[in-house]
Amino acid sequence: MIKKRKIGNLDLFVTEIAMGTAPLGGWPIAVDENKALETLETAWNNGIRYFDTAPLYGSGMAELRVGKFLKNKKREEFVISSKVGRIIIDTDNSKATEKFIGSPNDKDSNFDFSYDGVMKSFEDSLHRLQVNKIDILHLHDPDNHPDHFEQARSGAIKAMIKLKDEGLVKALGCGLNQNEMLIEFAKEGCFDCFLLAGRYTLLDQTSLDALMPVCENNNISLILGGVFNSGILINPSPESYFDYAKLDSNWFENLSKSLVRIPKDFESAEYWLNKANNIKNACENFDISLKNAAIQFPYFNNTVSTCILGMNSSNQVIENIEDYNKKIPSNFWQYLKDEKLIDGRSKIK
C-alpha cells in the first residue's frame, strides 16, 4: 500500500510515490507505446495514483501516452500534474529527438513564459491528456535564461493564477533543479508546492539551508524529483551521472554549460563520487541497498509530499515500490548522522 500526503493547505492528496513520465517520452532511451502503457498499468495496479508529465517530455509524446492510459480511469481516482513554460511547435528538424529518443521528428519545444503562451500550453496539454482539468500545474524551468524569471512573474504566473481561480487547476507549483530561484518564487505568495529535483536527497540536502524553512513557513509542499540524483545514488562510478552530467573530469564544466544549475566552487566529480561511495559503504555495512535508502530518506520530512520516480518498465515500478516498502532499521539513519554522511538537520524519524 502506498500512503498519501497533502499538498499545501489544499484538499488535495497525492500518493507518496508519483509516476514520472520523462522516460515515457524517450529519456534517456526509446520506449515504445505498448511498453509505456504496460508500465503505466503496472504503476496503477500497484497503487500509484499521481502521474507527473510535461509538454517537454518527448515533445508531447509522454502527455499523449498518459492521456491514452488514464482516459479509462475514473477521474476522481488519480492526480495529474503537467507544466507550462514551453510550447510544442511543428518543425522540419527537431532537436528534441537528440534527448528524447524516439520522440516525433516533426515536433519540438520553444520556451514561452508569456501569459498567452501559458494559456496555449495549458489548452494543448488538456487536449493531449484528454482531461478538462489538471490538478497541479508547474512552472517549468524558468532558470534557463536570464530573462525568464521576470517574464514568468509578469506573464506566466498571472495566467496560472487565473486558471486556478477558474477551477481549471487545483494547485500551482514550480519545477527547478536549484534552491535559490524557488526561494524568490515563494515570495509571490501563490504557490502551493515546488517540484524540487536533486536538492533534498540522500546525497544532497542543501535545501535545508534556506528553501525548506521558507516552504515550512509558507505551507508550500515539496514534490521531490531526482531522488537518485540522475543515477549516482544507484551505482556511483565515473560512468554514472549527477544532475544529468556524467561524473568524469568534465563534469563541472558540462554542468555549468547545461544550465541545470550553477555548481558551487567546492563541487567536483571526485567530491560527489567520494560522498556517494561513503554512503554506499554505510549501506553495505547494514545490508541495505543504496537505492533502498535513497528512496526512503525523504519521507521523514513532513514538508515532502511525494517523490516522483521516473520509470520506463514494469520491473522498475515493482522494484521501486519494493524499496519504498522495505524496512530500514532506525540505527542506520542515526549512523549516517553520526558519521556526518548526511546533514545533521535532516529528519530521520
Per domain, the residue ranges of the chain are 4-338
pTM, 2 dp? 0.96
Percent of the chain with pLDDT over 90: 97
pLDDT reported for residue 90: 97
Three-state DSSP class for 259? coil
Mean pLDDT throughout 124-152? Answer: 96
52 is catalytic: yes
Mean pLDDT throughout 234-244? Answer: 95
pLDDT reported for residue 252: 97
Q: Is the pLDDT of residue 221 over 90?
A: yes
What fold, for 4-338?
TIM Barrel (3.20.20)
pLDDT band at 259 (very low <50, low <70, confident <90, very high): confident
Alpha helices in the chain (DSSP H): 33-45, 61-70, 115-129, 148-151, 157-165, 180-186, 211-217, 251-258, 269-285, 290-296, 314-325, 330-338
Mean pLDDT throughout 232-240? Answer: 96
Residues 163-205 have pLDDT tens digits of: 999 999 999 999 999 999 999 999 999 999 999 999 999 999 9
Of 83, 170, 280, 291, the active-site residue reads 83
Long-range Cβ contacts of 238-246 (<8 Å, 24+ apart): 238/269, 238/273, 242/269, 242/272, 243/177, 243/198
C-alpha cell at 273: 563520487
Mean pLDDT throughout 101-119? Answer: 97
Residues 2-61 have pLDDT tens digits of: 999 999 999 999 999 999 999 999 999 999 999 999 999 999 999 999 999 999 999 999
CA distances (Å), 189 to each of 39, 92, 185, in order?
Answer: 37, 41, 8
Only one residue has cell 502503457, namely 37
pLDDT reported for residue 144: 87
pLDDT reported for residue 1: 87
Mean pLDDT throughout 253-277? Answer: 95
pLDDT band at 106 (very low <50, low <70, confident <90, very high): very high
- Environment class of 185 (CB within 10 Å of its CB; exposed 0-12, middle 13-18, buried 19+): buried
Of 50, 52, 299, 323, the active-site residue reads 52
CA distances (Å), 164 to each of 34, 134, 183, in order?
Answer: 34, 10, 21
Residues 49, 13: Cα–Cα separation, whole Å: 10
pLDDT reported for residue 266: 95
Of 57, 200, 299, 324, the active-site residue reads 57
